[in-house]
Amino acid sequence: MRLYSADYEEALKKGKLLGERCLDCGTLTCPPLAVCRRCGSRRLEAAELSGRGELMTFTVIRVPPEGMEGPYVVCLVRTEEGPWVMGRLEAEGEAGQELLGRRVRLSGFHAWSDKYSAGERVTPVFRLEGEK
């Protein structure tokens, strides 16, 4: 059974990073899609990821879209299970290139909505390992 974005968002609110495991090739897909991201199989089951991973890249957004307040940090994390996930990064102080490669873990979620978002949307928030 596939998961939907609503399942992913509800799990984030409970502190869990939820994806799909392919019953044919074993690949994890997170966030969920209708088919396995590697082999295209529709035979999927829900799988919880650890929420830990590596910071692959990030940026500090200083010119935000209408309805958001900057600055804030957007990042791409490679989870230890494989899939790359986009989220926010809780960063303290100056965020420089030396942060790339640092271990991160899921630390919470960010909820947001505007007139175009079709209701509340939920996004994962990550924190650098070793920081409180």
Partner 1 sequence: MREVAVVGVGHTRFGKWERRTAVELFSEAAQQAMEGAGVEGREVEALFVGSALGDFGEGQAMIQAQCRAELGLGLIPCTRFEGACASSTVAVRDAWMWVASGAYDLVLVGGTERVLPMGTPLATRTFAMAMHSTYEVPAGLTFPGVFALVARLYSRIYGLPLERLREQMAQVSIQNHRHGARNPLAQFYGKYENLKVEEVLSSRMVCDPLTLLDCCPFTDGAAALLLCAGEKARKYTDTPVYILGTGQGAGGPMALFEEELVKPPSRVSSARMAFRQARLEPKDIQVLELHDCFTIAEIVALEAMGFFPEGKAGEAVEEGQTEIGGRIPTNMSGGLIGKGHPIGATGASQVCMIVQQLRGEAPRGNQVDPVPEVGMVDTMGGAYGTLCHLILGRRG
Applying CB under 8 A, which residues contact partner 1? 5, 9, 31, 37, 56-68, 70, 72, 74-76, 78, 83-88, 97, 100-101, 110, 112, 114, 116-118, 121-123
Strand ordering across the sheet containing 28-29: 28-29, 17-22, 44-49
Shortest CB 67 distance to partner 1, Å = 7
Nearest alpha carbon to residue 8 among 36, 30, 35, 40: 30
Residue number, 21 or 88, with CB nearest to partner 1: 88
Farthest CA pair distance, the chain: 45
Residue number, 4 or 24, with CB nearest to partner 1: 4
Nearest alpha carbon to residue 125 among 84, 78, 75: 75
Residue number, 76 or 128, with CB nearest to partner 1: 76
Show Cβ contacts of residue 7 under 8 Å, excluding neighbours closer than 6 positions: 18, 32, 46
Residue number, 41 or 123, with CB nearest to partner 1: 123
Shortest CB 99 distance to partner 1, Å = 9
Which SS3 state, helix, strand or coil, does residue 27 take? Answer: coil
Shortest CB 47 distance to partner 1, Å = 17
Shortest CB 32 distance to partner 1, Å = 9
